[in-house]
A and B are shown apart, each in its own frame.
Chain A
Amino acid sequence: MKSLLPPAWAFLIALAAASALIIAVGGAPLAVYRLLLAGTWGNGYGIGQVLFKTTPLIFTGLSVALALRAGLFNIGAEGQLTVGAFLTALVGMHAASLPAPVAVTLALVAGALGGAFVGAIAGALKAWRGAHEVINTIMLNFIVRAVMVGVGAHLFEREQIHTAPIAASAELPRLSRWLGALHGSAANASLFFAVAVALAAWWLVERTPAGFRLRAVGASPAAAATSGIVVGRVQLFAMALSGAVAGLVGANFVLGYKHYYEDGFSGGIGYMGIAVAVLGRARPLGVVLAALLFGTLSQGALAVNAVVPKEIVDVLTAVIIFSVAAASPSVRRQLVAAARLEARA
């Protein structure tokens, strides 16, 4: 129960800041929050949209969290998910002759491999050259953005910024097929997949030898090295794993919603993954809950836009991150470990 206090405080501080801003532009905070709740958890469509927006945040939040457990900061989820989602679409486009389970699996494996490749570049440079993974993942985000301009020129539909549609066999069904109440919302089966990945991440980190090495390096690289763990190899593994999870984001947008890859579809969910991981304190369950909160805010932004500019939610999010980063001891401990790793490198 005690561990829930810092995030709760962070949320209250953020609410206070947002309220001040709403009052400053002549709005009524309570009315805005009521509108936000009504537009999200108040009806079936709203709930569906919240779940739809929560799904990718679970992936990116887990991605950042996994690297953080190894003492590494992955700011590159944005670039990793871009490559991943694009490859998911590319495989999906050519999967017409395959049965659905095979098509979906192949498309997701391609996405994970794409994300893992981009993550591994930063991981390898860290492991071999001690190069700061934060800077390298930022640089990779922009390199990916530039490459996608070049790739898009050849592979997107003529005069469009998206690929051709994927084969029907690679599509994931919407939840409204089973739950009529969610009708019209984009929530789809990838939500279950995201939760399954969260469970797998928990199992991997807490219950396997690889996860133990990951945590050992995150807690103290020097101690891990002394006990015979090859720190560089774990760092490479952690960054590749982190990238792979980010690369799965295409499940939601590409396989479950639009059925094609579209330039700029992410809208910053890679960066939001950092907020999710920090608020969720780098634990899978925490990440799922934090993703749900930010998913709610992201959908709620649209609900309040008629009364106050929807960017109020970005301000709210930023203040939540500030408060958690500056106040939460457990996050700080995690980050101190990361910083210690920096100092050593």
Chain B
Amino acid sequence: MIATLFSVAFFAAVVRITVPYALAALGGTLSERSGVINIALEGLLLIGAFTSTLGAYFGHGAITGVLGGVAGGAAFGALYALLVVTLRGDQIVCGVALNLLADGLTRFLLKATFDSSSNSPRVDAWGNVGTRLIALTVGLVALFHVVFYYTPFGLRLRAVGEHPEAAASLGVKPARIRWVALVVAGALAGLGGAWLASDQRQFVAGMSNGRGYIALAAVIFGSWRPMRAAAACLLFGLAEAMQIALQAAGVGVPGWAVQMLPYILTMVTLAGLIGRSHAPRALGRLDRS
């Protein structure tokens, strides 16, 4: 058993599970630090998985697939930005509605495009894009750490998330920063969706399967910081892979108990019972500027 946990296959399983969490969580961190709650991560992952499948299927290549996922996610990120930043719709209501739209629209288009209510045909064009996406994910985590803490944009982003009025008085445009944050967050989640689609070599209806909410949990458990959120994703991925390995080995750990772990950890963190979590102060507030 111990040998299993140090095997290459186990390590690969951890990475496989972690990548989409990490990409969506990066997007979540970005939008939440700008002051916008992003419940829509789940829907953005799903949209990305679908548009990347379209890209890979009709473009006959992994590149078009990845671009499709990023573009689809960014487009729906822009829709979310239009609703909550420009039209000042409620972030929770619009996030829930976007998830509903993503689920309904992908199923609708799946039937319209591939005449199936469950999955797309197998897409072989993906090739071995996986390793590159893993490297890209690691690079993006590092990049976002730098962007957050060592660039003018990062400073403005954090300022807008803490105190938009003060930021605005210094000439920063909160609405513009939030637009950028939400579109990029959509693109990142879309990339996460592309990972899901390439990993399974097809689109399956509802394939995001709650991963967006785990990513949201990781954002909070990682106290709204890119590196820590990614580390939280790795922890959740490790727990999940361990549960699968233990189950396969017939060791008596009930899977459902392990499944609850990310959610319980998040609630405990949020209640301030371990460490001190500090949410962006303007998070969820309607933008009055």
Contacts and interface: CB of A to CB of B under 8 A. Distances in A.
Contacts of B210: 142
Contact of A142 (B93, B263, B273): B263
Given A147-B256, A271-B100, A339 B263 contact: no
A315 B76 CA distance: 14
Contact of B264 (A21, A75, A143, A312): A143
Interface in B244-281: 254-257, 259-260, 263-264, 266-267, 270-273, 279, 281
Nearest to B115: A309
B83 A135 contact: no
Contacts of A321: 93-94, 96-97, 100
B98 A139 contact: no
B105 A278 contact: no
Interface residues of B, number: 50
A318 interface: yes
Contacts of B104: 311-315, 317-318
Contacts of B213: 138-139, 142
A132 B267 CA distance: 9
A134 B94 contact: no
A198 to B, nearest CB: 21
Contacts of A327: 87
A125 B37 contact: no
A146 interface: yes
Contact of A318 (B92, B101, B254, B281): B101
Contact of B97 (A132, A149, A268, A275): A275
B34 to A, nearest CB: 16
A137 B99 CA distance: 16
Nearest to A125: B271
A157 interface: no
Given A149-B256, A268-B100, 20 more contacts: A73-B92, A75-B92, A75-B96, A131-B272, A136-B270, A139-B217, A143-B264, A146-B259, A147-B260, A275-B100, A311-B105, A311-B108, A312-B108, A314-B103, A321-B93, A321-B100, A325-B83, A325-B94, A326-B88, A332-B90
Interface of B: 37, 39, 83, 87-90, 92-94, 96-101, 103-105, 107-108, 111-112, 117, 210, 213, 216-217, 220, 254-257, 259-260, 263-264, 266-267, 270-273, 279, 281-286
13 contacts: A21-B108, A139-B267, A140-B267, A142-B260, A309-B107, A314-B104, A318-B104, A321-B100, A322-B83, A322-B94, A322-B97, A336-B286, A343-B281
